[in-house]
Structure formats: C-alpha cells, structure tokens
Amino acid sequence: MNLNELKKSLSKLPLGDIRYFDTIGSTNDEALAWAANDTPDLSVVIADEQTAGRGRLDRKWFTPKGTALAFSIVLRPTPEERPHLTRIVGLAALAVAESLRERGLDARIKWPNDVLIQNRKVCGILIESVWSGEDIDCVVIGIGVNVSQGSVPPEEMLQFPATSLEAELGQAPDRGEIVRDILAALIGLRPNIGTDEFLKQWEDLLALRGETVQVETEKTPPVMGQISGLESDGSLKIRNEHGEFVTVRFGDVRLRPLA
C-alpha cells in the first residue's frame, strides 16, 4: 500500500486526518492515543502490518505485512448518535458486510463483531471507547479484513474457521478500494443509526439466523437456541430450547453453530 495512492482513493470521502504506518503494534492503540488528543471525527489510522493486533479480551489478531487491511476509525458521536452507541458495532459490521456484498460475496454478520463469508471469518471488529469522566468522549472502530490468503492464520491458531477475499473472489482485490468502500458505506449508514430501518438491515444480515447455536459467556452457563433477531440496543435475541426468549448482551460472548 502506498500512502499517495491511498490518499487519492480516500480523497472524495469526508474524513478527518489520515495516518499511515508500514508497521505498527495495533492501529487501535494508535487511534486511542490520537483520539485522546482531540483528533477530528472520522480520522483514520491504517497500517500495512500489525505486530500486536488485538481482538476482544486481548486475543491476538494476525496481520502479516502486505496481506490484510487493518485500520481504525475515530468516531466522535453527535448528540443524536449518543443514545445509540451500542449500535456502533452494528454500524461497522454492516458497512463491511454491505461493501463486500456489493462485490457479489454473501457476507453476513456473526454477532456481535465478526463478518463471515460462507460461515468463515473474513473480518473482525474491535470497538473501544475513550472516556471523559463518566461519559464516552469518542469511539475507536478497529477493522481487520483478510485480503490475501497469507492473512489467514494457521488452523491451530483459530477457534473459528477463517477465509480471505482472495480465496472467495479468486483473486485479491485492491486494499485501497476495499477500505474506501467500507468507509463510504459507514458514512452513508451513519445518519440512520437510530432508526428501525437500520436495526432491520443489521438483523437481515445476521449469520446463522434460524439455526441452532450455542452462546458461551464467561459468567453464565451456555445458552442454546435459535437466533431470532436483535433487541433495540443491538443485543441478541435467542429462542431457547423451551421456546423462551433470552437476551444476550454484549461482552465476552462466543457464538458457535451446533455441529
């Protein structure tokens, strides 16, 4: 990835500042530090390689040089968006899924933070917040997309099957175009974040809908049942084996199809 080409590709979008790194620990760490220093809304940190890419609970996110997209967006919520901050993970996941669907891929959202193609993980999303006292000052949206097959970790590192855009499309697409499309989709969806239509769009793209799944959390016994949809705050609604509806909130939740 070349900074000039990247800037050209992103030049038509109403972004804040852009920082590009050939190599970095984690784009989320950089964006969090930058956000604490008043960087404008929709500033983007993007890197060709991450040496300490993170998933939830500090799990490792594999980003070898030249193979993947790893970027983080600083979002400064408007007063209208503030009541809907729990929907930001949906905003990011929908932006990724819709931009991949535009390329003919059947991309779906594995709630809460992954995008799958044919039930394989092609993208992970990590949302982190910068606090100012008791309020969220801004949100960092970290997005990792497996572009060429070299970005897919070895089987033994995976707890869920993974894929890349190269494997799904037959060739690796241009990373600048993918990041541009995702950012454009996010900017386009953002004004609708509080609407019922947004929730419906998110719900319509949920992976494993209607299938029996197991949801594991650290604290409670696993919930088994079928994904029935989303609550207004973006929590997952499961219909359990007794026909009761159980709400699964965000946190360390692992969703697995029942083999």
The answer to whether residue 50 forms part of the interface with ligand ATP (CB under 6 A) is no
H helical segments located in 109-227: 165-169, 175-189, 196-204
Q: Applying CB under 6 A, which part among 29-37, 153-161, 214-222, 227-235 lies near ligand ATP?
A: 153-161
DSSP state of 153: P
- Of 11-19, 82-90, 152-160, 237-245, the window that binds ligand ATP (rule: CB under 6 A) is 152-160
Binding residue (CB under 6 A) for ligand ATP from 9, 27, 113, 148: 113
Cα 139 to Cα 190: distance, rounded to the nearest angstrom:
14
Is 70 an interacting residue with respect to ligand BTN (CB under 6 A)? Answer: yes
Calculate the CA dihedral of residues 223, 225, 227, 231 and round it to 10 degrees: -50
Q: Looking at beta carbons only, is 43 or 50 nearer to ligand ATP?
A: 50
- Under the binding rule (CB under 6 A), the answer on residue 71 touching ligand ATP is no
Q: How far is the CB of 107 from ligand ATP (least distance, A)?
A: 14
Choose which of 81, 98, 114, 203 interacts with ligand ATP (CB under 6 A).
114
The gap from C-alpha 247 to its chain's centroid, in whole angstroms, comes to 21
Q: Least distance in Å: CB of 125 to ligand BTN?
A: 6
Site membership for ligand BTN, residue 84 (CB under 6 A): no
Instruction: Decide: is 4 part of the binding site for ligand ATP (CB under 6 A).
Output: no
Answer for which of 7, 59, 200, 249 binds ligand ATP (CB under 6 A) is: 59
Q: How many residues belong to the chain?
A: 259
Candidates 61, 62, 111, 202: give the one binding ligand BTN (CB under 6 A). Answer: 61
Query: In the chain, where does DSSP find H-type helix?
Result: 3-10, 27-35, 88-101, 165-169, 175-189, 196-204
Cα angle 130-235-92, degrees, rounded to a multiple of 5 = 55
Q: Are 115 and 185 in contact (CB under 8 A)?
A: no
As measured in angstroms, the least distance from the Cβ of 57 to ligand BTN is 8
Distance spanning both ends of the chain, measured CA to CA: 40
Cα dist from 190 to 154, 168, 179, 186, whole Å: 35, 28, 16, 6
* Integer Cα distance of 145 and 151 in angstroms: 9
- Residues of this chain that interact with ligand BTN (CB under 6 A) are 26-28, 50, 53-56, 59, 61, 70-72, 113-114, 124-126, 142-144
- Residues of this chain that interact with ligand ATP (CB under 6 A) are 55-57, 59-62, 113-114, 121, 124, 146, 151-153, 157-160, 162, 254
